Structure 1
Amino acid sequence: MANDRLTSRAGEAPLDAYLGDLAARLRGPRRRREQILAELRDGLHHAVADRTAAGLPQGEAVAAAIAQFGTPQAVAEAFAGELATAYARRTIAWYIATGPVVGIWWLLLLQPHPWRTGLVALLAAIPVIPLIIIAIATAAGTVATTGRLMRWLPEASPQHALAATITIAALALAGDLTVIASHLRSEIPAKSLATFAVAASLTRIVCSLVTMRHATAMRTSPPS
């Protein structure tokens, strides 16, 4: 029994090395990456157990199981599309959640009584409204075509989902820069609301730059 446990622990080393190599190649949301690795580890253990039950020495069984699953590069490429779509959906959901919060602060700051003015005055005070509309439409279309509505709508490819993510991040970046510039040019007195609005936009500017870099890397770079 002690020898079996020793052999089992020795057999874990190649599996750990294989999964570690694979983990370094997977790009996407951390939780989904962990789920994939856990599923693969479980599958590898079952494959090894089947081969040892058939009479193979554990070392050979481990090597055969790993060969059956494929190289880390091949496995990472097989999951790249799924992870890219998951990343796009999670990132777009973040923009959908934060957009109204940041938008309300700027609305209260730049045009606190929008219902008392016409559309032209509102656009003059908050010129990013067309960008917001485009971003909302892009986000809604991407979420719809990568989720449960795919049974009725054409499915968006991972590349299209990432492209939409980059577009939304760029629109958010342009919008935040524009409202900050509008505020600096305005004669609105300094107030605590302005501090919160500017801080929120600056935070989202940084997040948008990071998002654009990550999504572009996932679109253009295969797992390596």
Structure 2
Amino acid sequence: MTPGRNVTPDRYALLDAHLTELASVLHGPAKARARLLGELREGLEDATDDLSAHLDRDEAARRAIRDFGTPEELAPGFQRELTIAQARQTARAVLLLVPLLFLCGYAAEFTAGPAAQLAFVPLAGVAALAGLAAAVLLAATGRLSRRLPAPDRLPLFAAWTGTTAATALALSSLTLAVAAAVTSNWPLAAAGAALMAASHAHLASVARTCRRCARLATGA
């Protein structure tokens, strides 16, 4: 709704129902979805106000909805934009959480010795590759996407990148949990294990959402 307008609650009732129906089939970051729906609402309200000068209020709203498109017509385009936003969110989560694994590798050496840190070497390699992939994803869906369209499979690649990084975090949590059981400095190892477990849960959730968005955007 445009700021400053003084309207009754039911003045845009038909538009509310239209937007609610559209919102129910869209998936992606809440802020991005709210922004898209907010922009659509403003356009619909302006069109309804203009048309109501010579049409019944409800008929004006129906005409505005027809002109802008039904939920079935609008959803694919909106979902594609939300899917790209979700892919970027997933890539950012990978870049934010993967460095924690390297810190936990040092914590493992401090708590249980070099042997424990050795277990982190392959996990660190996987994490490094996931971080590199995430950086490429951010570039491909950022300014570069203004010149070159993002490939259809890019969001799915982002989802699997997140899943791979989440798996590495889960294994690091398990490694630190084992270290906590065999070392006298168990509080630090246990804290690291808990942090890795929480990071895994968050990243896995973000990656699942990204995978769902990717499948909706491609109709798979």
| TM-score normalised by length of structure 2 | 0.81
- Identify which of 210, 213, 220 aligns with 1:218: 213
Alignment of 1:184-199 (within 5 A): 184-186=177-179, 187-199=182-194
Contact 1:131 1:175 in 2 (8 A): yes
Contact 1:84 1:218 in 2 (8 A): yes
Alignment of 1:28-177 (within 5 A): 28-53=28-53, 55-104=54-103, 106-112=104-110, 123-150=118-145, 154-157=148-151, 159-160=153-154, 162-177=155-170
Name 1:21's counterpart in structure 2: 21
3-state DSSP of counterpart to 1:126: helix
Name 2:3's counterpart in structure 1: none
**Cα pair distance change 1:80/1:151, threshold 3 Å:** closer
Q: What is the CA deviation profile of residues 125-148 of structure 1, one whole-angstrom value per residue up to 9, with x for unaligned ones?
A: 533121012101110110011112
- Identify which of 176, 179, 186 aligns with 1:183: 176
Q: Percent identity?
A: 28
Q: What is the CA distance between 1:123 and its match in structure 2? A: 4.8
Q: Which runs of 5+ in 2 are unaligned?
A: 1-6
Task: Tell me, in whole angstroms, the C-alpha distance in 2 between the residues paired with 1:151 and 1:47.
Answer: 29
Contact 2:90 2:159 in 1 (8 A): no
Contact 1:85 1:158 in 2 (8 A): no
Q: What is the CA deviation profile of residues 36-68 of structure 1, one whole-angstrom value per residue up to 9, with x for unaligned ones?
A: 111111101111122123x22222211111111
Task: Tell me, in whole angstroms, the C-alpha distance in 2 between the residues paired with 1:192 and 1:184.
Answer: 10
Q: What is the CA distance between 1:107 and its match in structure 2? A: 2.1
Q: What is the CA distance between 1:150 and its match in structure 2? A: 3.7
| TM-score normalised by length of structure 1 | 0.80
Task: Tell me, in whole angstroms, the C-alpha distance in 2 between the residues paired with 1:15 and 1:82.
Answer: 22
Task: Tell me, in whole angstroms, the C-alpha distance in 1 between the residues paired with 2:120 and 2:43.
Answer: 58
Task: Tell me, in whole angstroms, the C-alpha distance in 1 between the residues paired with 2:146 and 2:61.
Answer: 40
Task: Tell me, in whole angstroms, the C-alpha distance in 2 between the residues paired with 1:155 and 1:192.
Answer: 49
Q: Which runs of 5+ in 1 are unaligned?
A: 1-6
Q: What is the CA distance between 1:124 and its match in structure 2? A: 4.7
Aligned length: 208
**Cα pair distance change 1:92/1:125, threshold 3 Å:** closer
Name 1:4's counterpart in structure 2: none
Task: Tell me, in whole angstroms, the C-alpha distance in 2 between the residues paired with 1:9 and 1:110.
Answer: 59
Contact 1:81 1:158 in 2 (8 A): no
